Amino acid sequence: MKTGVVDGLWQGIKYRGGTGHLAFIGHRLAGLGTLLFLIIHVTETSAVYFNPQFYADVVARYQHPVFMLGEIGLVAAVLFHGLNGLKIIAFDWKPDLWSPEREQLWSLVVFGATFALWLPAAFVMGRSLYLHSILMEPAPAAVTPEQVGTGWANVAVILLVAAGLIVAFAASARPGSGRQAAIKPTLETRMWMFMRYSGVLLIPLAYGHVMIKDILHGVHLINLAYVDLYWRFLGWRIYDAALLSFALAHGAYGLKQVSEDYVHAPLRLRFTKYAILAAWLIITAMGAIALVGGVGATLS
Ligand code: HEM
């Protein structure tokens, strides 16, 4: 006899729902994969404050081809999850537009758009992997303070303005063609809305971060001095704080939702939810302390 978790997973795999079902599985796996990476990434980045030497050792390991291949996969996951998330949000906004056929069609569009966006990114990152981690050619010149302080700072401001506009729009909009008006909001319904608002907000925040750090700059440029330089500009700290809080809260609540699908024993489920809540608080606090404290002792 299968346990609740295994049975739940098995039912999910054997269900024959076509492209829409594939998109559902892809969305879930990509969301969980991104969350796993985010947890590792925030923990390791917070070491710039708590233990800079540890941070320097860890980021040097990211230049290994295996990690770089994982990073190329991560870009695909973030792209897919974000685009498919927009598809979900759009149908939630206008449920009258949803039909099984449209779900299949738009899932195909999402798969195609993900591939089209991922291909050039994979080329740039694959090229860097080949040149600097296999042929061992010297890494490109480091990012200069001028670039961070002028050109890239403008990017941070543009992305933050985009995020602000989204918040303003979200605050004034009502989803679901007015149907929800009669429903009294509960914590569950508010969190349902939060998953959608934060999802839209994460498009400029997460896509911008991935584009700059993973694709345009890449792991060969990233070290303690790089983080130190970036965080001298307040705009980037605010940007990273927004990304940290929204991405972690969105991912943690998503994980709670996923756990409800697979963990059925009430006590085990309650324990799982408290564990997720505790992990979310601890990791967010670590990231926030590092963002405020900046690069620790060895550089200053
Ligand atoms: C890039 C923009 C993003 C968009 C547009 C987006 C959108 C969404 C949407 C609409 C949902 C479904 C919520 C529901 O069914 O109630 C969702 C779930 C989820 N998201 Fe995101 N998200 C984004 C980024 C992220 C990031 C950065 C993470 C990781 C930290 C993440 C992790 C998750 C998880 C774990 C779930 C639950 C998956 C499930 O229920 O199958 N998402 N997202």
Task: List, for residues 171-192, the tens digit of each pLDDT value.
Answer: 666 555 555 556 678 889 889 9
Residue nearest atom 39 in ligand 1 by C-alpha distance: 28
Give backbone dihedrals phi and psi of 115, rounded to 5 degrees, phi first.
-65, -45
Residue nearest atom 6 in ligand 1 by C-alpha distance: 199
130-146 average pLDDT score: 81
Check if the beta carbon of residue 177 is closer than 8 Å to that of residue 94.
yes
What's the rounded Cα separation, in Å, for the pair 171 and 225?
39
Is 158 a residue whose pLDDT tops 60? yes
Q: Is 202 in the pocket of ligand 1 (CB under 6 A)?
A: yes
Give exposure, 92-131, as e/b (b: 16+ Cβ within 10 Å): beeeeeeeeeebbebbeebbebbeebbeebbeebeebbee
Q: Is 237 in the pocket of ligand 1 (CB under 6 A)?
A: no
The two structure tokens encoding residue 81: 């999850």
Write down all domains in the chain, each with its CATH number in brackets.
18-293 (1.20.1300)
Is 168 a residue whose pLDDT tops 80? no
Among 17-31, 129-143, 243-257, the minimum mean pLDDT is found in 129-143
What's the rounded Cα separation, in Å, for the pair 174 and 48?
42
Atom in ligand 1 nearest the alpha carbon of residue 28: 41
Q: Is 249 in the pocket of ligand 1 (CB under 6 A)?
A: no
What's the rounded Cα separation, in Å, for the pair 74 and 68?
10
Q: Is 67 in the pocket of ligand 1 (CB under 6 A)?
A: no
Q: What are the residue ranges of helices labelled H in the chain?
A: 4-14, 18-50, 52-61, 65-93, 100-128, 145-149, 151-172, 187-209, 224-230, 234-262, 266-293
Among 113-117, 128-132, 222-226, 265-269, the minimum mean pLDDT is found in 222-226
Residue nearest atom 38 in ligand 1 by C-alpha distance: 28
254-270 average pLDDT score: 96
The two structure tokens encoding residue 21: 């079902």
Q: Is 257 in the pocket of ligand 1 (CB under 6 A)?
A: yes
Ligand 1 centroid distance, CA of 245 (Å) = 14
Check if the beta carbon of residue 11 is closer than 8 Å to that of residue 251.
no
Return the ∠ at Cα 274 (arms to 50 and 259), rounded to 5°.
110
Q: What letter represents residue 206's amino acid?
A: A
Q: Is 31 in the pocket of ligand 1 (CB under 6 A)?
A: yes
Q: Which residue has the tokens 């670590």?
A: 286
pLDDT of residue 179: 54
What residues have CB less than 8 Å from 11, skipping those under 6 apart?
none
pLDDT of residue 1: 43
pLDDT of residue 46: 97
Q: What is the pLDDT of residues 9-46, one digit of tens each?
A: 777 676 666 888 999 999 999 999 999 999 999 999 99
pLDDT bin (cut points 50, 70, 90) of residue 7 is: confident
Is 215 a residue whose pLDDT tops 90? yes
Is 243 a residue whose pLDDT tops 50? yes
